[in-house]
Chain A
């Protein structure tokens, strides 16, 4: 296999001796991956945002994060990437956590290079994973959400009658739309109005300048409203309603402050909190204390970051002080704190409000 056509094996370890040993070893020993070496979680995530990594081999203790953190982050952003954890201080607890988070193997240092090679050769290729099939009767809104949620890097050609359009996604961000001679949002609105058609997905290879706003949800909603306006009567005009300016004095200090770094531990001490995590408004999971329930952590992280993105896009970021979400199985309170969202999960039968002040105090720096 030509070196450049191999999927990438990304090794993350701040121990340069390990990296040099592996690099030297793989010059002569054949594995079905092209190795790349970085020393921090930040560098690893940067590489992964730019290159198609197939396997991640990460140390448990990195200078800027734990291996478990990078695992949960990679699971969320790149679910097809296989992860192998390695550590010089293995414990049963850490191993169980890593495997529960989806690691395909756990290596205790020092390990034999042949053992690692064997593991690499048995690793299924990245391209062989995933489902293939045919979806019918889905609307463009479904398709957009699917691609934006999956960090897709694809081009989709849409055909409606004798018209044809194209949409590009770059790592889950819908960047470009064109329909005939029309480009940008108007092209998207035009395609959104088609009631039926077909689509075909192609690999994204071109370099193309974006012509869509980054807020795809806003674009989708605008398109839906435009479509509605064409098909249903206009809403009642409320322009004659008297405007009543607020007389309250805003108090923005609390939610502008970043949270305490150890707030997740403090929240866990409260007893009634079943899980908590911190993510940025832009959608990156920073830390979570529900690592023993990886599915719940992943689902909550995804949910909160969607919330965070929705909020950031919809409302002046600084004005929202609290978000409360209730579903049948749980209640979640999201406290915006500076550029960070702190999500606290509680059982559905708990009365949240008496404990609200205690939770705010735990988060406070």
Chain B
């Protein structure tokens, strides 16, 4: 599934693919402010830190903010971060990511 296809799910604002260095490889349009991109970049870096320090690899990491939610998951292509608004629950975001990952595998 192309990155853009994540955005076909209702409530999904955008998706970003990062490489393992935390650099943006691909980003969908309508993603939100550059501040959000900056936050996500730092979150990806945070995931890497936790990956290195944790006792076992993290499969999924999700953050709920005041107005949006971010789900970061490790895929064969890199880290995919999906940003949604609060009309979706984190559970629904999870199902979007699962669907996306299934299509990618």
Contact = CB atoms under 8 A, between A and B. Distances in A.
Given A238-B37, A353-B89, A353-B90, A323 B62 contact: yes
**Counting chain B CB atoms within 10 Å of each CB, which of A239, A241, A311 scores highest?**
A241
Interface of B: 13, 21-24, 27, 29-34, 37, 39, 42-43, 45-46, 49-50, 52-68, 85-86, 89-91, 94
A243 B29 CA distance: 10
A243 B34 contact: yes
Contacts of A248: 66-68, 85-86
Main secondary structure of the interface of B (DSSP, over half): mixed
Given A238-B27, A244-B30, A221 B45 contact: yes
A235 interface: yes
Given A244-B32, A319-B65, A353-B91, 4 more contacts: A224-B21, A243-B33, A303-B54, A324-B60
Contacts of A235: 23-24
A164 B54 CA distance: 32
A221 B22 contact: yes
Nearest to B13: A244
Interface residues of A, number: 47
A252 B66 contact: yes
A310 interface: yes
Q: Which 8 A-B pairs have the closest CB atoms?
A: A353-B91, A248-B67, A250-B66, A322-B64, A324-B62, A246-B67, A326-B60, A221-B45
A253 to B, nearest CB: 11
B42 to A, nearest CB: 5
Interface string A226-267: 001000100110110111111011111000000000000000
A246 B24 contact: no
A186 to B, nearest CB: 20
B7 to A, nearest CB: 13
